[in-house]
Amino acid sequence: MHSSTPSAVSPAGTPRISGAHATGELASMGPGLLVMDVDSTLIEQEVIELIAERAGTRDRVAAVTERAMRGELDFAASLRERVATLAGVPDSVFAEVLEQVRLTPGARELIAALHARGCRVGVVSGGFEEVVGPLARRLGIDHVAANRLEVADGALTGRVEGRIVDREEKVRCLRAWAQTDGVPMARTIAMGDGANDLGMIAAAGLGVAFCAKPVVAAAAPAAVHVRDLTAVLELL
């Protein structure tokens, strides 16, 4: 499904993309479904760190997040550890953080270009539905999966509610959404930056590391090296 081609290079000399490009059905018929991570991929920040800022635990949370994204920690366990530090933060934090979120350059343009081709777009996030959901609705994203934070008496309890969107759940969502949309896996693209994205990157028709951690960049068939989501289109 993939073939290696020379890297595309920006005018400034920075490699924009490298590795495999679309071939077969993905090249001839175009993508039918693109699924991407949210934190540090669709957006520039890590939502849990923005919330942790209010709890006074941002440095601690950021250190654990970094290790988890490098694949050094079990994601679910590390998420519970980080969420525990958020106990007591008022649930008004969700609206505040949503206003702070910065889209990665090219996000709107990528989504519009894919929709124009008849391609569906989904996001799978180790972050939180309370922020990811409204953001996805603003952007017209078709599928959303994210974690939920438990709230009681107007404040975070420090616990996650329901299932955790980890590496395996991201793969499950990719496959389920492809089936729902009637898209063969050969016409799917999965993109992310952290170790918990490796499963869906391997399962998709084309897996893309986006400004990724070394373990992801080494394993993904294709890579984008600039913070411009429209660079993904060059792989097609």
205-227: burial string, b at 16+ Cβ within 10 Å, e else:
bbbbbbbbbebbbebbbbbbbbe
Residue 80 CA to residue 72 CA, distance in Å, equals 15
Smallest Cα–Cα separation from 123: which of 99, 107, 106? Answer: 107
Joined tokens for residue 16: 């924009």
Verify whether residue 142 is a known catalytic residue: no
Q: How far is residue 206's CA from residue 200's CA, in Å, rounded to a whole number? A: 10
Note if 37 is an active site residue: yes
Rounded to whole angstroms, how far apart are CA atoms 220 and 223? 7
Catalytic, out of 37, 142, 193, 197 = 37
| β-sheet with 143-152: strand ranges across | 2-9, 15-22, 222-224, 206-210, 188-192, 33-36, 120-128, 143-152, 155-161
Which amino acid is residue 211, in one-letter code?
Answer: C
How far apart CA 81 and CA 105 sit, in angstroms, is 31
Report the C-alpha gap between 82 and 151 in whole angstroms: 16
Question: CA 130 to CA 147: how far, in whole Å?
Answer: 8
Catalytic residues: 37, 39
